[in-house]
Structure 1
Amino acid sequence: MAHIIVVGNEKGGAGKSTVSMHIASALARQGFRVGTLDLDLRQQSFGRYVRNRKAFMEAEGLDLPSPRYMELPEIDKETLQPGENAYDHRLSAAVAVLEPESDFVLIDCPGSHTRLSQVAHSLADTLVTPLNDSFVDFDLLAHIGADGEKIEGPSVYSEMVWHARQLRAQAGLQPIDWVVLRNRLGAQQMVNKQKMEKALERLSKRIGFRIAPGFSERVIFRELFPRGLTLLDLKDIGVKQLNISNIAARQELRDLMKTLNLPGVEVDF
């Protein structure tokens, strides 16, 4: 069975599509078969990222290691069983196609609470939650006191993950390995940043997730998207000398992949 990676967070703008593309492409570059899905049926940022990559490769005559992307299949509602949800059926059908032909299936979820996102979380062997380094985003995981220190209780997204864990336990599946990724980090060691770090450490022990290093805020990520490229593709497109920022960003990706500790993956880039 393919190992299923779900990248999820109910808040938009956390960098899910960038994280998804870099994980999927890093795995493909190491020779793994990677199938991918984008469950944001309206915006489809990840889907556009993949299509941009395909168009760029065709225009430049390149063959870069890439994941396989699949649209959710349309279904005839007349074929649904009584009480069966159409979105559940579409997602199950897509995973059923990708799983036998993939070592990993990566599912990018929308930045909102949807039925598809709920179901996808229950399928996750590894759940990656990118989180902007602010208490606005932290509020999705837990409510915190005015002092920025006291955790008052879990919030909406944590409750959804808890429900997904319950469903997996009832089905006799392995527990979700939940990794919260601190993303878009600023360079300065501000007091707010230090409070976030301490709050996440306390919360991780309370509700059960691991903390991974994410990507710092860098212009390079905005420049890569229109061409569908990742940090690992720069040398393949003729960039002979990486600048300090790009080298640091590659190291951040390397650290992320090591922290994810995906089965059979040795980080060698």
Structure 2
Amino acid sequence: MARSASNRRIICTADGPSIWVGSGFYGAKPPRSTRTGATLDEDSDRLHVIVFANEKGGTGKSTTAVHVAIALAAKGARVACLDLDHRQRTLGRYLDNRAATIQRTGRNLVMPVYETHDGESLTRFNDLLGELSEKADFLVIDTPGRDDRFARIAVTNADTLVTPMNDSFVDFDLIGHVDPDTFKVTRPSFYSELIWETRKHRAKADGATIDWVVLRNRLQHIEARNMRRVSEAITQLSKRVGFRVIPGLSERVIYRELFPSGLTMLDRNDLGEMGLAHVAARQELREMLGGLQLPEPAHAPAI
């Protein structure tokens, strides 16, 4: 079912109302629940927006976004990607490399449509949203590791908001502050307060709830006292602020090695013989995808 290009909705952001136009990005019906059990019908005109946002770089945000996008495409979903980081373009470059691999080798790899925003024009931003969401079931948006106007608008319009973070108090400081002696959470940080206000604006605008997921990325394989303290602090803050916590991707060399070819851990037929580390990486990826609790595409095959 095609989406009407005349659909328009005003969503309040931290900076005031922002209008996104085109492609039924905001339909008249309430957004679908992000929780387990929801399914995308073949004739559905719903778009599920997944935004990866963290104002700190180096958390594996783009790598995770690519793997989620490819996983959804492998399940038969129509996936579009938008890279808002016009400086680094990690998501865009990853998919550029994937497209080049397809052209060079003739491999039959699933491929989402994708664009990179210039970071300047609101008109171009709206146009890209309209173009990408026209025939998509999922729109995956990767944001810069810094405060950004367009990232704030994207977060406001997310169905699922994913904030990857490393297992350290340096990263935790983005979302909460702790007592230096007891390591108990003293208060949420500015970023948590921003997301809290953003979720309230969204609920007031269309009654939808943004499912905020904190993704513990780049977990070390050795359990340490500091990791336990970070884990306890995240759990404390999650109850206070209202986000879910799930394990993400471990620190593995394979993820960096895959970037030049644009391959992912899901492209097992193109990775050659897989060792135990690769098998473990695929399993943690499956667990992460399950933890995100995204709607299932119709007739989704196993990955």
Identity %: 47
The one-letter code sitting in structure 2 at the alignment partner of 1:44 is: R
Per the normalisation by structure 2, the TM-score is 0.81
Find the counterpart in structure 1 of residue 131 from structure 2: 97
Within 5 A, what are the aligned runs for 1:83-232?
87-147=121-181, 149-232=183-266
Find the counterpart in structure 2 of residue 25 from structure 1: 70
For 2:192 and 2:177, how far apart are their aligned partners in 1?
A: 11
For 2:116 and 2:219, how far apart are their aligned partners in 1?
A: 32
8 Å contact kept, 2:54–2:146: yes
For 1:49 and 1:209, how far apart are their aligned partners in 2?
A: 29
| Cα RMSD (Å) | 1.6
1:39 to 64, 74, 84: 84
For 2:218 and 2:55, how far apart are their aligned partners in 1?
A: 17
CA-to-aligned-CA distance 1:128-147 (integer Å, 9 cap, x gap):
11101100000000111103
The one-letter code sitting in structure 2 at the alignment partner of 1:14 is: T
What secondary structure sits across from 2:81 in the alignment? strand
8 Å contact kept, 1:215–1:253: yes
Consecutive unaligned residues in structure 1, runs of 5 or more: 75-85
For 1:207 and 1:176, how far apart are their aligned partners in 2?
A: 13
1:72 to 88, 108, 117: 117
1:8 to 53, 61, 75: 53
Find the counterpart in structure 2 of residue 60 from structure 1: 105
Higher strand share: 2
For 1:147 and 1:187, how far apart are their aligned partners in 2?
A: 26
8 Å contact kept, 2:114–2:132: no
Find the counterpart in structure 2 of residue 257 from structure 1: 289
Aligned residues: 256
For 2:56 and 2:147, how far apart are their aligned partners in 1?
A: 9
**Cα gap change, 1:94 to 1:148, in 2 (>3 Å):** farther
8 Å contact kept, 1:38–1:46: yes
Find the counterpart in structure 1 of residue 8 from structure 2: none
Pick which of 258-267 and 60-69 moved more. 258-267
Consecutive unaligned residues in structure 2, runs of 5 or more: 1-45
1:245 aligns with 2:277: yes
**Cα gap change, 1:112 to 1:238, in 2 (>3 Å):** closer
8 Å contact kept, 1:151–1:203: yes
Aligned-pair distance for 1:68? 0.9
What secondary structure sits across from 2:258 in the alignment? helix
What secondary structure sits across from 1:129 in the alignment? strand
Aligned-pair distance for 1:234? 2.9
8 Å contact kept, 2:89–2:116: no
8 Å contact kept, 1:4–1:105: yes
Higher helix share: 1
**Cα gap change, 1:15 to 1:73, in 2 (>3 Å):** closer
For 1:125 and 1:255, how far apart are their aligned partners in 2?
A: 20
Aligned-pair distance for 1:246? 0.5
For 2:271 and 2:253, how far apart are their aligned partners in 1?
A: 19
Pick which of 160-169 and 18-27 moved more. 160-169
What secondary structure sits across from 2:266 in the alignment? helix
What secondary structure sits across from 2:134 in the alignment? helix
